[in-house]
Amino acid sequence: MKTYKLNSGYEMPLFGLGTWKSEQEQELYKAVREAINIGYRHIDCAKIYGNENIIGKALNDAFNANEVKRESTKNVLKKTLRLSL
């Protein structure tokens, strides 16, 4: 999988699995596991999506099955900022 080198020197995969609007837990679990199996190392998620537990389970199962090393994955977590005026 191709990567892009950030100014910090960090290598970021060019392609990632987006998980927004993934409401069916079993389907999301299977999608994350399949993405890992075909070479994806960038999983994009956010707390507001409400699916971080199932993504975590899929990743943890992949780590425990030695399908991928934890340090080779790039999980992008977004945090919503609330501005008080």
In-domain check, residue 55: yes
- Higher per-residue confidence, 79 vs 41: 41
Nearby residues of 59 by Cβ (< 8 Å), 6 or more positions away: 32, 36, 43, 70, 73, 75
Please report whether residue 21 resides in a domain.
Answer: yes
Beta bridge partners of 45: 77
Q: How many domains are there within the chain? A: 1
Residue 26, domain extent: 3-77
Question: Is residue 49 among the annotated active site residues?
Answer: yes
Of 4, 10, 29, 49, catalytic: 49
Residue 85 is assigned to a structural domain of this protein: no
d(C-alpha 6, C-alpha 58), whole Å: 27
Is 19 inside any structural domain?
yes
50 Ramachandran zone, left/alpha/beta (phi>0; psi -120 to 50): left
Residue 84 located in a structural domain: no
User: pLDDT for 18-47, tens place per residue?
Assistant: 999 887 999 999 999 999 999 999 898 888
pLDDT surpasses 70 at 81: no
Q: Has residue 11 been placed in a domain? A: yes
Please tell me the pTM assigned to this model.
Answer: 0.81
Q: Is residue 83 part of a domain?
A: no
- Strand, helix or coil for residue 17: strand
